Amino acid sequence: MSGERATRPRSSLVERWSRAPSEVDPLTWLAGNRLPLAFALLVPLTASVSLAPATGGVVDVLGQLLAVVLMAAACVTVHSFALPLRGRFSRTRTLIPVGIAVAATVLSAANPTGSGTAAALMPLESWWAPLGFAFVIGALVPYTSIRASLAVGAVASVTSGFAAALAYPDTHWPLTTTIAIALAPVVIATSGAIAFQWQVVTRISRWSESDAPAVVSGHLLQERARLAAVRAELAEVSSRVSEFLTNVADRAEVTAGDSARAAALAAEIRTELVERSNETWLQSVARGRPVTVIDPDHLADVMSERQRASVHALILTVLDSPEVEYPHVLVELRREHDEAIAVAITIDAGLAEGRRIMLLAPHYLSLRAAADDLHWKGGETIRMRFRV
């Protein structure tokens, strides 16, 4: 066990900086699914506090109201992109809400419909736009990596600093102080996002790399599984042979037909046992169940014990769940150019989205810990792809 732990590759620092919390911990993903909507509600709430004492007519604050709508729309866009049916949160999905937030910040600073910039409506310390951009950063936290948060924070800092210098050129503070006041919410939000992402990714990665204590060794468990399979095979063969011998014993004589039947039965059992001995563990699990296995090269036997346990538990959860009426699982294995094994699992569960996610989320986490490059695509038909 110690040798296995010493040789097991651990996640590098670069990997931890490039992985989002939603990629390593589906529970964070589920809990944060409605988080962007909460930030979308905070945007108009905080903006109203800033705009309530503002002087001027409706036209003067119209630009601010449009900016508020845009900033809230950025958070709603994050929520839309983060829905399980949409699949993985890509780089483009990060750029779109950030671009909307940039436009909202510049629009708020310029205030084109009013008689002046944002300085004519509210003091710098009450300007809501940098705090709104901070809410957008918070909405992106569960779905972006540390590297992405640094990039988003840099864009937000440059935008907020430039917009503050544009809107508040004549304050009683120096320009650097003006920019620092505008950057404070963005810097705090970026720092909090990075701290949260680092903690989640690091803790889950360490947990997945550690060896869970076991009362029984993996080798002994494997031998027990083999013994159980052999006993099942022998019990089935014994029942067929016993029925034949009982009939012969009842007649108290052996006829020519019995000899022919015995030879045919022996050949049939021998052929069946040879065929079953050539099956992989995955094909044995699929026998008699609504599971289709495409594995012509018997690659399933290359999977480690943890990977086998994760896949087996996932299949049994779908097939044995009383909530799934007509389940079907398709498992396909193929070898790639770098000699790694690509595994694709397609599940037709026939469940509502929430029930489906809660049923499979623990197994998603287990597979994430045991396999590499796991991708999940939701919908009525769930698809998982990973490499071993």
Q: Where are the alpha helices (DSSP H) in the chain?
A: 2-7, 13-17, 21-24, 26-31, 35-51, 58-81, 91-110, 129-140, 146-167, 175-209, 218-251, 256-277, 281-286, 305-320, 353-370
Listed range (220-224, 242-246, 355-359, 384-388) with the worst mean pLDDT: 220-224
Asked whether the predicted pLDDT for residue 31 surpasses 90, the reply is no
Listed range (19-23, 237-241, 383-387) with the worst mean pLDDT: 237-241
Of the candidates 99, 95, 110, the one whose C-alpha atom is nearest the C-alpha of residue 163 is: 110
Interval 248-257 mean pLDDT: 73
User: Are 78 and 107 contacting, i.e. CB atoms less than 8 angstroms apart?
Assistant: no
pLDDT above 70: percentage of residues in the chain: 77
Predicted pLDDT at 170 = 81
The backbone torsions φ and ψ at residue 131, rounded to the nearest 5 degrees and listed phi first, read: -70, -35
Average pLDDT, the chain: 79
Predicted pLDDT at 323 = 73
Predicted pLDDT at 78 = 93
Predicted pLDDT at 136 = 97
Asked whether the predicted pLDDT for residue 125 surpasses 50, the reply is yes
Q: H/E element holding 333?
A: strand 328-335
Predicted pLDDT at 36 = 92
Per-residue model confidence as pLDDT tens digits over 363-373: 777 777 777 77
Predicted pLDDT at 217 = 42
Per-residue model confidence as pLDDT tens digits over 87-107: 678 889 999 999 999 999 999
C-alpha dihedral, 321 to 355 to 303 to 298, nearest 10°: 60
Predicted pLDDT at 324 = 75
pLDDT above 90: percentage of residues in the chain: 28
The band of 341, judged by pLDDT with boundaries at 50, 70 and 90, is confident
Give pTM, 2 decimals.
Answer: 0.61
Asked whether the predicted pLDDT for residue 43 surpasses 60, the reply is yes
The band of 69, judged by pLDDT with boundaries at 50, 70 and 90, is very high
Predicted pLDDT at 278 = 61
Predicted pLDDT at 77 = 95
Asked whether the predicted pLDDT for residue 382 surpasses 70, the reply is yes
Predicted pLDDT at 98 = 97
